[in-house]
Amino acid sequence: MRYAMGVEYDGTGFHGWQRLGPATGAFQPTVQAALELALGSVADSPVAVVCAGRTDAGVHAQCQVVHFDSAASRDPRSFVLGTTTRLPPAVCVRWCVPVAADFNARFDARARRYRYRLVNRVVRPALGRQWLGWERAPLDAEAMHRAAQALVGVHDFNAFRTVHCQARNPVRDLQCLQVRREGEQVVFEVQANAFLHHMVRNLVGSLLLVGRGERPAAWIGELLAGRDRSRAGPTASASGLVFVGPLYPAQHALPPEVTL
């Protein structure tokens, strides 16, 4: 039987989502490896999971969605509680539901959402620092929001991906990019059909230059059109980035938080 599962994790102590092969050398903990080990223990047999979207080292997830197959006689509640018991404290399973045999957590997702939070004040944060970026210079959130609207739509995002990105096609449909201030924090909400490697962090890094007044709002559109990563801003730190979760058509009967 195939199951879909919602997974929450603090990525601080992990070397990203993806399980690393033996060719990588020294052992590095990953979220996928921890989850598969725990699931395999509950199912009493090896289990492989497929995720909606891989996250980098230090990036967190509010509701990563995975699917897996298991012939074990276990109800979804057992997979939730049993797996969470066997996971490190930084990872938990939020829900588990049976799905159709052809459901795919990656290919059936119609959108993916990220949130980036940073503290905007002179001194760095102490509380919650593992989930926050930090910028000491005053930021104009409204200017960043206006500049960000040039990125919304279907575009070639070569200017905002890492040189190590392996995606063959740089075109993505950026459905929403909002920037707002919440007291001392500046929050970036981003939704797209899919993302390139480091795309969100590179978008944030470039928008920060607008927020500090170092670049005009029109510069963001120029970067997009130029398709040159070397002209864009630096990559924002991983700590402030959370994968909020994917979105699926209602036909899959998944929980509301991941349903269109």
Domain with CATH 3.30.70.580 in the chain: 2-108
Q: Tokens 């159709």 appear where? A: 100
The predicted model gives 217-231 an average pLDDT of 95
- Output the pLDDT for position 123: 97
**Confidence class of residue 164 from pLDDT cuts 50, 70 and 90?**
confident
pLDDT per position as a tens digit, 5-39: 999 999 999 999 998 865 544 568 999 999 999 99
| E strand or H helix at 36 | helix 31-43
* Placement of tokens 């897996």 in the chain: 68
Give the active site residues.
56
Tokens standing for 17?
Answer: 């989502």
Domain 2-108 is in which class? Answer: alpha beta
Q: State how far the Cα of 161 lies from the Cα of 163, in Å rounded to an integer.
A: 7
Task: Quick: pLDDT tens for 39-72.
Answer: 999 999 999 999 999 999 999 999 999 999 999 9
Q: Write out the two tokens for 121.
A: 């004040």
User: How do residues 97-151 score in pLDDT, each as one tens digit?
Assistant: 999 999 999 999 999 999 999 999 999 999 999 999 999 999 999 999 999 999 9
Start and end residues for every CATH 3.30.70.660 domain found in the chain: 112-243
What's the CA dihedral at 129, 176, 90, 130 to 10 degrees?
A: -10
pLDDT at 255 over 70: yes
Domain 112-243: state its class.
alpha beta
Mean pLDDT (whole number) for 74-90? 97
Confidence grade of residue 165 (pLDDT, cut at 50, 70, 90): confident
Which pLDDT belongs to residue 27?
Answer: 66
pLDDT at 167: 84
End-to-end CA distance of the chain: 24
pLDDT at 26: 55
- The pLDDT score that the predictor gives to residue 21 is 66
Per cent of the chain over pLDDT 90 is: 93
pTM: 0.95
Taking residues 166-187, what's their average pLDDT? Answer: 95
